[in-house]
Amino acid sequence: MKTRKLGLDGPDVSAIGLGCMSFAGFFGTTDKAESFECLDAARDQGITFLDTAELYGKGYSEELIGEYQQERGHRFSIATKGGIVVGGKRGENDNSEAALRKALEGSLKRLRVEHVELYYIHRRDWSIEIEDVAETLTKFKNEGKIGGFGFSEIAPSSLRRAHAVHPVTAVQNEYSLWTRYPELGMLQACAELGVAFVPFSPLARAMLTDTFPDPAGFLDTDFRKNMPRFLEPNFSANCKMISGFRNFARSRGWSTTEAALAWILDQEEHLIPIPGTRSAAHLKEWAGAAEIKLTDEDRTEIERILPVGFAHGDRYSDEQIVGIERYC
């Protein structure tokens, strides 16, 4: 697995990380054995970077990773997130120093470590200026609890404000072939400031795979159940568009997931996508994406098949988008 730099002063991590939201059952039932098997596959494929959060299963994802590392004697570079009030109502966030310190201490305990490489603010608390939040995170870094800090789902203007207080390590926003709004300022701001950009849901929540998900089978707990892109007539329209991309990938001898991740990695060197899965088999399907080199012909064909803005429907429902900083 090739590596990339996690921000200007961060460690070298695998060019593709692993998102661990699925370990907490957000996209269907899972168990410890399956998750451990997936982490084994990540280790064996050279993936060194895990992404989790206090919110995922109310700490369960973190607990599982901590248990795995202790049992297997293997240490990953870990990013985790806090700032959302666990158990609170949607959109209830607390970025105060007291709340973030409590959240971070809890994460470290569950992960069974004294230090994580990256700590994100999961969602902004609009009652607190981002400069004050950056000062709090700088304290955590100076105390040795975190290697660097970042923000999830923020705007370029907020990144610049926080970065003026202390260099930000990374920004994590949704980015894929069907969600390209970061191209309207965030990718450029990160490149300018030396901040890593970490795309989550780079496989379009399992749409950019060789087998489409079946919305009729989504459990009530499945995060995608009420997303407009998975509701008709949007879902069928999106499947039709993505089928052309599948055919393109197949013609090149790649899986659909490999092609989708290769496209992201081809954008800039500061991008580190974190596809999520709980399946070792699925992980092995895309782990080789970092070795793919797209040609100018590939880039032109991908843009023809899936032009900017092709997706039918919004990426979130009105209820789900609460707390996300929109800028365009």
E strand or H helix that includes residue 33: helix 32-44
pLDDT digits (tens, 9 = 90+) for 101-117: 999 999 999 999 999 99
Q: What is the number of structural domains in the chain?
A: 1
Please calculate the CA angle 96-152-169 and round it to the nearest 5 degrees: 90
300 falls within a domain: no
327 classed as catalytic: no
CB 224 within 8 A of CB 159: no
The span from the CA of 97 to the CA of 129, in Å, is: 12
Q: Which domain holds residue 275?
A: 3-216+257-293
Which regions of the chain are under pLDDT 50? Answer: none
* pLDDT attached to residue 31: 82
SS3 164: helix
Whether residue 325 lies inside any domain: the answer is no
Residue % of the chain over a pLDDT of 70: 98
Q: For residue range 125-155, what is the model confidence (pLDDT) as tens digits?
A: 999 999 999 999 999 999 999 999 999 999 9
Q: What is the CATH number of the domain that holds 90?
A: 3.20.20.100
- pLDDT digit string (tens) for 71-101? 999 999 999 999 999 988 888 999 999 999 9
Q: Is residue 299 part of a domain?
A: no
pTM of the model: 0.95
**Structural domain contains residue 321:** no
Cβ of 140: how many Cβ atoms within 10 Å?
20
Q: What is the 3-state secondary structure (H, E, C) of 195-252?
A: CEEEEECCCHHHCCCCCCCCHHHCCCCCCCCCCHHHCCCHHHHHHHHHHHHHHHHHHH
